[in-house]
Amino acid sequence: MMIRPPSKRRLAVLAAACLVSVAVPLTPAWAEKTKTKPAVTAQAMVPPEVTVEIPTITMEGSNVDEDTLRAIFSGNIVDNAEALAGLTADSIGIPAITIHITSTVDGEQAEATATIIDLALSEVSNGVAGAVTMAGVSLDAGDQGSGEFGELSANSVNLAAMLSMYGLVPAADANGFATIYKDFRFAGGSFTSPEVTCDFGEMTAAEFKARPLKTSLMEMMTLASALESQGDKPSPELMGKIVHMYADIFSAFESSPVHYDGLSCDGTDDNDEPVQITIASIDVDGMSPGTYPGVSVDGIDILAGEDGAVSLGNFTFKPMDISGPIATVQAAPAELDEAWFAANARALIPAFAGFSFSDVAVDVPDPEAEAARIVASIASFDLSLGNYRNGIPATVSTNASHIMLDLPTDTNDEQLQMLLALGVTSIDAGFTVDAGWDEATNTIKVNDISVTGADLATVKLAGTIANATEALFSTDENAAMMAAMGVAISNLKLDVTDMGLSDLVLSIASQDQGSDAATLRTVYSGLAEGTIVSMLAGAAEAQKVGAAVSAFVSGKAKQLSIDLTAKQPPGLGMMDFMAAEEDPTVLIGKVNISATAK
């Protein structure tokens, strides 16, 4: 069970308070003690009413007067953007900025207060502050919850560049990247409500850069309003503006990696049972134009008493290259209709590098069996994708190790009961799929397709698929289909390693037939050799292949390798396999077969 979600009333208050408390709002015309009363946008929830109090401002060497500074830090940035962009001061200090938020949800009114403590700017020159610090933020929402957040600081804070990024002041270089801040640090904090108590760790980032956006803040707000008013069927003109805006945003930022020390929350579920959630740390890769950064999360633990426990040592979301979709949008017309999206669907797919996780452990109740539990673990899983062609990854690699599952002891499944009777109490499996397209040779290299069961067996398949042209990735469905029909299997290699599977299978078979495993081995090995020699009659390696298979089935050998290579290039195609449906032996004369056992 998950932690009980807050009520609409509490959620509205806390969301509004947190948002206002961590950033100076970019809304016009807030003066000291001046209230704003937005119109109701939904029947259930009325936008919050906000007032800002700034009792004292101290400043030395400032070229901006106190009233203007008070207006800026009360929220009226838009009307005072030029003054802020040109701000010069030895120091500016504000002991407290108190923000009162009143919200109404379903007719119920709730209040919250956020207080920014000791905001200070030092060594400010022409809109660039040498340092900006804030001693902390205090949040009080009465019986809805409260929070205390620690110091926040940054160096080289470029207020002018930040304002020009959103089009509030002219930019010195419309296409140039400027440092917005350096050495960012947030000390973390805590939050407590009737349902949950959370502690948040420290966050740090070395540098953040940005360039001016091509869509100003005011234009963004206008577009958002138009999108809401047009509902489910926005006009091609509006869609064009929005898509071009996002393409610009995704190429407008650069950053160094961000580290976050994680969080820990204690709460209760719907049945008032304790729930604990912890995350040890979060790391976000550096951001660059056209790249969505990767995210790595360590030490995820969820404990819910009898409702179970889930833990992950690590989860990694790998980066996405969105430069291709951005280029497609940049080359697109101003108006984008459904036909354009359909024609460019593949080109809009980002090159997602994949994801991975490790050290997964699950212990939860079995929903289909009372008093039973599902106990499983995964040591590692990885999915890696690359070499994208028209939205399709031409290289795919995925693997998992030690997928472990305890077999239920009270199962009614006959097969599981038989495994338990033979002493098999858990499954420990893994798999690998590794293949990629080679443009130079027009082949698909199947490096490894394998399945492993600990103390059971490993089966591995590798080979080469020839005549795999670039048309396989064509956006023309007919061309791609024709290319797929033209591929051919050039060679295949099958490797089987017996680590106990044959003993298990023969034990089960011997019980069914009233015999013993050793006798069945002798019978089956003879049948296997005779059948293979008969099927491969006329093939040069028939006797050797039959003998190798026989040795493997008899248990004299634990490893069996079988190689098949087409006699004629490019290999066995679709027509060959269609013919084999009627007579499988037609393939024998078209391949060289060899086998070894050891």
Beta strands in 161-232 (DSSP E): 178-186, 189-192, 196-200, 203-210
Residue 210 has what pLDDT?
96
CA atoms within 13 A on the CB side of 190: 6
Which ranges of 288-408 would DSSP assign to H, the alpha helix?
A: 323-330, 338-343
Cβ atoms 258, 295 nearer than 8 A = no
Cβ atoms 137, 186 nearer than 8 A = no
Measured at the CA of 128, the angle between CA 122 and CA 129, to 5 degrees, comes to: 20
The DSSP line for 231-297 is TTS--HHHHHHHHHHHHHHTTSEEE--EEE--EEEEEE-TTS-EEEEEEEEEEEPPPBTTEEPPEEE
- 384: amino acid identity, one letter: S
Q: Rounded CA gap, 326 and 413, in Å?
A: 53
Residue 44 has what pLDDT?
52
Residue 36 has what pLDDT?
42
Residue with tokens 């008032």: 272
Q: Rounded CA gap, 459 and 451, in Å?
A: 5
pLDDT per position as a tens digit, 5-17: 444 444 333 333 3
Q: Rounded CA gap, 74 and 29, in Å?
A: 9
Nearest CA to 249 out of 184, 185, 165 is that of 165
pLDDT, mean of each 10-residue run, the chain (598 residues) = 41 38 36 38 64 95 96 93 96 96 81 95 97 96 93 97 94 88 97 94 97 93 92 93 95 96 92 92 96 97 91 98 96 96 95 98 85 90 97 97 86 73 83 97 97 93 97 95 95 95 81 78 88 78 90 93 94 88 81 93
DSSP tag of 328: H
Domain ranges for the chain:
9-212, 438-597
- Please give the model's pTM, rounded to 2 decimal places: 0.85
* Residues in Cβ contact with 228 at an 8 Å cutoff, skipping those fewer than 6 apart: none
Q: Report the first-to-last Cα separation within the chain, whole angstroms.
A: 52
The DSSP line for 416-440 is HHHHHHTT--EEEEEEEEEEEEETT
Residue 550 has what pLDDT?
92
Cβ atoms 65, 123 nearer than 8 A = no
Residue 30 has what pLDDT?
34
Residue 45 has what pLDDT?
53
Q: Is 247 exposed, middle or buried (0-12, 13-18, 19+ CB in 10 A)?
A: buried
Residue 516 has what pLDDT?
80
Q: Rounded CA gap, 397 and 387, in Å?
A: 12
Q: SS3 for 19? A: helix
